[in-house]
Amino acid sequence: MSSECFLRAALCIAIFSGGVVRGQGCTWIYEHRVDYLTRHGFDALMIHGRYLNPLPPSHDEGTPTLMLSCSGANLDAIVISTGVAIDNEFGASPKVYAQIDDGKPMWDRAVLAIRDDSKTLAFGSHNGIGGTKMLFAKKYVVRVESYGRRVVGMEFEMPSNSSAILRYCGLLKPTNFDFEGFPHMQHSDNESKVPINALPVPIKFHFKWTRSPVKRASGSAESR
């Protein structure tokens, strides 16, 4: 079995075994999605965050999310769904500020990262707001500004062990696996815990038709 196949099988075991990371209340949520335009499949791994005070005047129902889009052992995009409209007109000069744990604040321009819905940001793995370092952190704080004024503030509590995800997305070199070291995740369509020895064989994936988080037009945040 190839290393990529083994990684995916191990990732599936971790996903379907479910659970919440002890010591930290966040949980990775998994979906396998297919871009309905390109038929390109990718794995979406998400965590929910919370809005920081002062709360935005209006936002979508629910909480902000941080998503990793991975395919072929590569991290395609880091996607932040803010739930708040970000003004991107001429002169707005939207910016994203971020802080990893108690580290130095960072920022990056958001003009090319804003998706068509004006509420979602898609960055490549090499960006000015911490790159992939936040995956090794405990807390990731994000603030968006437009016209020099704050639009929304968000905080994401990172799972304490994301080693399987990091390996699967090509951010860590694959090694011999210790199954007790896999991150605890839950499948988006199955909230109940399933013992590993009770997993169905073969495992069936949940497919969702969607648009890829990576823009493919010119001037995009990331093109593959």
Predicted local distance difference test score (pLDDT) of residue 3: 54
> Does residue 116 contact residue 149 with C-beta atoms inside 8 Å?
no
pLDDT at position 26 is 74
Q: What is the pLDDT of residue 169?
A: 85
Strands (E), 82-146: 95-100, 106-109, 120-123, 139-146
pTM above 0.85, yes or no: no
Enumerate the domain spans of the chain.
3-210
Asked if pLDDT for residue 36 goes beyond 90, the answer is no
pLDDT confidence of residue 210:
52
* Residue 84 pLDDT class (50, 70, 90 cuts): very high
Mean pLDDT taken over the chain: 75
The phi and psi torsions of 107 (rounded to 5 degrees) equal -150, 160
Measured CA to CA, the distance from residue 46 to residue 44 in angstroms comes to: 6
